[in-house]
Amino acid sequence: MIDMLETSINETASYYEIIISGEIDAGSSISLDNELEIAFQGEQHNILLNLEGLNYISSAGLGVFIARLEEISEKSINLVFYGLQENVKQVFALLGLEELLTIYNSKKEAIASLK
Amino acid sequence: MSPKLKIQLTFFLGLLSWLLFSFFDIYFILLQKYEMEETYVELVPQIFLSIFIISSLIYYRFIITKAESINFTDLLWRVFITGLVTTIISLGIRLVFNLYENTSFIKNPLTINFFYHLYIALVVIFLISTFVVWKRLILYQKSKQLIRWWNAFEYLLVGALIYDFLGFKYLTIPFNIPFAILGIFSLVLSFNLKWIAYLNFKQKWKSILFILLSGIYLYHFVLNLSLYSDTDALIYDLFDRVFILALFVFIMIYAVIAILVTLFNLPTSSVFEKKLQEAVDFQKLSQSVPAGQSESETYDILLDGSMSAVFADAAWLEVKSDGSSHIITRNIREDEIPAIKAAVKDASLRQILDVAYSGRMIQKKVYTSLSKGPFRSVFVLPILVKNTQVGTLVLLQEVSDAFNREMVNIITTFVNQASVSLENTRLIGEALENERYKEQLKIAKNVQRSLLPEKLPFNDKIEIAAYSMAADEVGGDYYDVITTNNEDYQLIVGDVSGKGTSAAFNMAQMKGIFHSLAKQDIPAEDFIIRTNDALSSCLEKSSFITASYLKIATATREIQFIRAGHCSTLYYHAKKGKAEFLKTKGMGLGIVRNSQYANYVHCNAVKYTAGDIILLYTDGIVEAMDITGKIYGEDGLSNALHHQINENAKDLSPEKIKDGIIEDLYAFLNGKKLEDDYTLLIVKLT
């Protein structure tokens, strides 16, 4: 299976940003989970997820976020999503995830929410 | 003519020509004795002698087989035996001469010539048979050049046979010139001794013995012939023939050179034997796979082959598989191994010894000396399969510095071949295992099929048709319809996250929960909340299920519906003549696994009229993608439904709508394979 997912990290004083691009399917969801694990282990509790480049997310990919919902509230991690493409947004909405996750349109809004 | 007949024919021809040759010669003596005037041609007996020589040559060419590495000593044995028999007969003749030394009978030229002819037969038989054997040995692993030389030699010999008719006497110039030429040829040809290299130590000794004895016979024959020659009574002297003398010389030269070369090769024969054994072992290793040999047999061949290749005193082979380690030893006890391991100081060798080596085998130093213990040299090589170490081969020598670089190459080759063998054995095993899995999946597929309802309601209140297809052998889509009283119908369509086997198991759980809850008459919200509760305790953390749940009360013509994160239901209003997606809020099952979930459950209700159609489906349909990347989408589904309703307006059955939509979907996919499971459920209300 070709791993279509690409992630990179942008760390600043006020937040830890994971930039996700490509596709998240059953195979690549494992590397996404690893990225989240690293981020959640860190000191920075403001975690931004930049999904601007994400074209597709499968149910397995969504499972990665869902599996961490409890941890987010337990560790009071401020996990903020932004830049969702229309189809990704629909998937989140369909599942009811927008009611559980913090989702913004732009990075500006996302950063503003941290303060 | 069969070969057997040819052999018999040449034998009788030889016998007959010898008899005729002897008869004419003796007849000639009688003529001389009684001084009878008869026309006698001296050439006649010579012709018969030549025929005799040629027939014995052909005879022996038939019965002496080609030289092959296994029968060199057999060939020499034949020379030895022929020589022995002929020599014994000749000694018998000699004895007769010695017993009656001074009698007139013995001094009679007739008697001398008679025995001399018998003698000629013995000499010819011995010379010709030895000549054929020498030929076979010289031409072993022949080259074109060699064949040319040999053919020239044979032509010259035939030439000599004819030349002898001229009757030049021994040691005259016309005799010596052809004789010298043949001598040179014999010398040149005698340096073709490739067969000696293939003899092992014991065979070399045997060969030396046989050739030496054959040489003695030869000497004995020459001696006897010259004794006869000295009697002056001979009517015909074999020494006057270039052919016969050239054969003597050729056989003698080859015998001498062969003995010398074999002698000098004696000390190196063990090296050659070793190389040969290596080749054989190597072949065994490479053949161990097609022969379907087990891993342990491969290990045995590897261990024994490596030991003999480097003259190891002891060895062991440690193999790790499935976490357990298995040790095969030679000349060493298993409890001695830890001490040897501990004595190795080199870090990388220690790593290999612990079967913890990873990565490609880089040519490093793989042998070292030990300062204490019974073994002073140790040789360590990892056995790698797919770059993972599966075992270690350890060879031990009692003397220090016993291993060298050349040995590393040999053993590495051995180990590599063994690795290939092992890899193949494992691959075959895996292929079998895969076959078994496929069988199991087939069973799972059948089981899963049986989880879906066999019969769907079809009556004057409600008609339902369904289609479900999994992308893999088993899928995660689920649908079901339950009625407890033929008035109220509970419908569910679910999609388990992920695909394949794990999704299929969750789907089975879903069915259990649905059936147990559906039979208790509880409100729709409670149904979903309790389903979420039940699933929360059995689903994996990262798994979730989306579902649409419908409760249809035919008595009151009311539908309650809850969307639990599932695709929006498509609802066709017969009155409006239009279909729309019921976009409502709702959250998937197993996402929020506590009492909070109740906050996210939204139950909606609609009244229906006759002819309304409900279309439930899973995301595999709306996310279906054609080869260009275009998505079927909600629009595609909605359009297909409208199209089907318009097409079949007169006789609208859910079965027809279902078939029409699926056909449309497949036309859209245009041969592209399914990527997800699809399910389509069509409900027509009346």
Q: How many CB pairs under 8 A join A and B?
A: 53
Does residue A61 register a pLDDT over 60?
yes
Q: Does B583 touch chain A (CB under 8 A)?
A: no
Work out the pLDDT band at A2, boundaries 50, 70, 90: very low
d(CA A53, CA B218): 98
Does residue B274 register a pLDDT over 80?
no
Best to test chain A binding among B545, B591, B621, B631 (most A CBs inside 10 Å): B591
In chain B, which residues have their Cβ closer than 8 Å to the Cβ of A67? 541-542
Q: Does B620 touch chain A (CB under 8 A)?
A: no
ipTM of the complex: 0.91
Q: What is the pLDDT of residue B359?
A: 62
Work out the pLDDT band at B668, boundaries 50, 70, 90: very high
Q: What is the pLDDT of residue B419?
A: 81
Q: What is the pLDDT of residue B277?
A: 75
Does residue B362 register a pLDDT over 70?
no
Does residue B235 register a pLDDT over 80?
no
Task: State the average pLDDT for chain B.
Answer: 86
Q: What is the pLDDT of residue B281?
A: 75
d(CA B263, CA A19): 81
Tens digit of pLDDT for each residue in B161-220?
Answer: 888 888 788 778 888 898 999 999 999 999 988 888 888 888 899 999 999 999 999 999
Angle between helix axes B269-287 and B295-310 (nearest 10 degrees) is: 170
Best to test chain B binding among A25, A29, A91, A94 (most B CBs inside 10 Å): A94
Of B541, B546, B593, Cβ closest to residue A95: B546
Q: What is the pLDDT of residue A1?
A: 36
Q: Does B541 touch chain A (CB under 8 A)?
A: yes
Q: Return the HEC string of chain A.
A: CCCCCEEEEEECCCCEEEEEEEEECCCCHHHHHHHHHHHHHCCCCEEEEEEEEEEEECHHHHHHHHHCHHHHHHCCCEEEEECCCHHHHHHHHHHCHHHCCEEECCHHHHHHHHC
Q: Does A97 touch chain B (CB under 8 A)?
A: yes
Q: What is the pLDDT of residue B544?
A: 93
Q: What is the pLDDT of residue B361?
A: 55
Work out the pLDDT band at B644, boundaries 50, 70, 90: very high
Output DSSP code: residue B600.
G
Q: What is the pTM of this model?
A: 0.53
Mean pLDDT throughout B652-663? 92
Q: Which of A37-46, B345-354, B458-467 has the lowest mean pLDDT?
A: B345-354
Q: Does B593 touch chain A (CB under 8 A)?
A: yes
What is the full DSSP assignment across B527-583?
HHHHHHHHHHHHS-TT--EEEEEEEEETTTTEEEEEEEBPPPEEEEETTTTEEEEE-
Tens digit of pLDDT for each residue in B123-138?
Answer: 999 999 999 999 988 9
Of B497, B542, B591, Cβ closest to residue A96: B591
CA distance A67 to chain B (A): 4
Does residue B56 register a pLDDT over 50?
yes
**Strand pairing of B603-607 and A78-82?**
unpaired
Tens digit of pLDDT for each residue in B583-636?
Answer: 999 999 999 999 999 999 999 999 999 999 999 999 999 989 888 888 899 999
Q: What is the pLDDT of residue B479?
A: 94
**Contact A96/B567, CB-based, under 8 Å?**
no
Q: Which of A86-95, B305-314, B487-496, B509-518 has the lowest mean pLDDT?
A: B305-314
Q: What is the pLDDT of residue B514?
A: 92
Q: What is the pLDDT of residue B116?
A: 86
**Contact B498/A69, CB-based, under 8 Å?**
no
Q: What is the pLDDT of residue B129?
A: 92
